[in-house]
Amino acid sequence: MSCAPTIGRVVVAGGAGAVGALFAERLQESGNDVVIVDLAAPVPAHRGTRFMRGDVGDPGAEVTDLVRAADAVLLAVPERVALVAIGRLAGALRPDALIADTLSVKATVVPALRAAALVAGKEAEALSLNPMFAPSLGFAGHPVASVVVRDGRRGRALCNLIEQWGARVVTVTADQHDRVAAAAQALTHAAVIAFGAALAELDVDIADLDRMGPPPHTALLSLLARIASGAPEVYWDVQAANPHAPAARRALARGMSRLTGVVEDGDRAAFGDLLNRLCGVLGPLRGAYRERSAQGLRAMTTNLTKETLE
């Protein structure tokens, strides 16, 4: 892949958080002049990355001046902060600057970005990104959804850099993003959280589950540990802000109700039909996902065994 041009001076709002820190570090390593704006200092501090204590949701003169000089502003902050910041910083953006976000829901932020770019100038760019992975995993091998709000060279350079970091940039519309994210994130997180709530109700000793649980159960326990230990605000935004999330949760409840009805009716044939229909959901990718599951479960079991022995 050819080298992507550097973007220039980039302000990363929320750079002390996990997502912002990941972008700030990689942008700095790629030759950009990065300034982190946050209420808390990043830990550990990134070599060569400057830090300014400030609130983009309530920007003072220093933060506003920083935005005026920036080639790009990346908002890696919660939705409630991002929407306020976009409105307050729009007039300070350079007429050819890029403004971007990393929110997990696009229905509200994309119109706000479009309006901010119009205020900034006819050459202003806007890009809405969503890294579809936990920041601790890094970019390599993972998808980053991209909604191009107003196209331009800096936005394309940022996407090019993300691909150089090893990620897959998947370009979608805002509505397409939210529909897919409702299934890929809201539904998935809801299923794992519901699994954990059910497990708590059953009052089974975790030590017994750890000793006796088969690999699929252990995988769900691992996902539960990851989500329950994460930042509640991140998972709240996925569930509460996505307009398609309620339909996903209702579909999950109907799926459980359907399974319960089939089993409690003793309808073995209907149970087989249900599994056959679910194979149809996977389509031609069924075999690939089955093999991926086998590989992942084997690797997880091996790692857990090593940790136990150590």
Domain of 133, CATH number, reads 3.40.50.720
Task: Work out the average pLDDT over 6-29.
Answer: 95
C-alpha closest to that of 74 among 97, 47, 44: 97
d(CA 108, CA 237): 12
**What's the total number of domains in the chain?**
2
Which has more confidence, 209 or 43? 209
1 pLDDT higher than 50: no
The verdict on residue 201 lying in a domain is yes
Q: Are residues 36 and 163 in the same domain?
A: yes
Range of the domain at 118: 9-172
**52 lies in some domain:** yes
For residue 159, the one-letter residue type is C
Tell me which amino acid residue 19 is. Answer: V
Domain boundary among 172, 206, 238: 172
Q: What CA–CA distance (Å, rounded) separates 66 from 82?
A: 17
Same domain? 113 vs 254? no
> Is residue 62, in this structure, part of any structural domain at all?
yes
Residue 161 maps to a domain: yes
Do 117 and 153 have their domain in common? Answer: yes
Share of the chain above pLDDT 70, in %: 95
Domain final position from 172, 202, 235 = 172
- Residue 45 shares a structural domain with residue 139: yes
Residue 304 confidence (pLDDT): 67
Q: Are residues 246 and 109 in the same domain?
A: no
Same domain, 114 and 200: no
What pLDDT, on the 0 to 100 scale, is given for residue 190?
98
Map residue 127 onto helix, strand or coil. Answer: strand
46 band by pLDDT with thresholds 50, 70 and 90: low
186 and 151 housed in the same domain? no
Domain end point (choices 130, 151, 172)? 172
> What pLDDT was estimated at residue 307?
64
Within a domain: residue 3?
A: no
> What pLDDT does residue 42 have?
79
